[in-house]
Amino acid sequence: MKEDALAYYSKPKDYLRFIEGLNIYNEWKILKGSMNTRGEAIRHKSYAIKLRKMFSDKKAFRREASISETVSWLDSFVMMTRTLDVLKRNNSREEYEKIEIYFEYIIKMSKKMRIDFIIRYETNLLLLEVRMVDNFTKLKGTWTKKKSELLIYKELMYNYIGSDIKILTYALITLHEYERREKMHKHIKYNNNQAEYLAEYIHKFMIKNR
């Protein structure tokens, strides 16, 4: 599976080291606004260039990464990092260090369909899609759409994944957290709760229920 992902991290600290290495000044903020508009503001930043180069160097996608994709990745990194923080608190060190992460995994024989993240724990795989919406009214509809896509991804992967592997799915729908420099406290609280729920799901159905 490693060769089919844009990046693979054999343990959480490897992923966190990668995030730290991006050198994002004052960390990344999930801002209100279109992905393209937000992307233009960071087009020439070193971390954006590095991510697009990773995509290009992979030579598996037949195109360049768009600037909107780069913003989407950065938003999803925030939520993944928060989820790992919760997992580290709520699991033993041995359990936590067994977590593997695949980023932008390409499903075989699928015309380049990609999954945002796959989290692996021993023989359990969690297919994770992350999407940001701009208000609470869009949460349910977006979750339903992404969940349906995930079920298709799951079916496609079962065509070639071993019978000893269990595949789970999770759609993580988030909200923007800042409007310009103003914190959206209700949205931040919602996103933090979502990271907690995802960590609990991984704990219950992947780590403890094997």
pLDDT-derived band at 210, boundaries 50, 70, 90: low
Do residues 1 and 102 lie in contact, with contact meaning Cβ atoms separated by under 8 Å? Answer: yes
Distance CA 64, CA 92 (A): 40
Helix H or strand E encompassing 133: strand 124-133
Residue 7 has pLDDT above 80, yes or no: yes
Q: Across residues 203-207, what is the average pLDDT?
A: 96
Residue 6 has pLDDT above 90, yes or no: yes
Considering just the CA atoms, what is the radius of gyration of the chain in Å? 17
Q: 167 is in which domain, residue-wise?
A: 2-208
Q: How far is CA 210 from CA 5, 12, 65, in A?
A: 25, 20, 37
Residue 119 has pLDDT above 90, yes or no: yes
Alpha-carbon dihedral angle through residues 26, 53, 118, 169, given to the nearest 10 degrees: 80
pTM (2 d.p.): 0.94
* pLDDT score of 85: 98
Considering its fold, how many domains does the chain have in total?
Answer: 1
pLDDT-derived band at 63, boundaries 50, 70, 90: confident
Q: Across residues 57-66, what is the average pLDDT?
A: 78
* pLDDT score of 129: 98
The secondary structure of residue 2, as a DSSP letter, is G
132-147 confidence digits (pLDDT tens): 999 999 999 999 999 9
Q: Across residues 47-72, what is the average pLDDT?
A: 88
* Residues ≥6 apart with Cβ < 8 Å to 88: 12, 96
* pLDDT score of 187: 97
pLDDT-derived band at 39, boundaries 50, 70, 90: very high
Average pLDDT, the chain: 94
The residue among 15, 196, 210 whose CA lies nearest residue 124 is 210
Residue 1 has pLDDT above 80, yes or no: yes
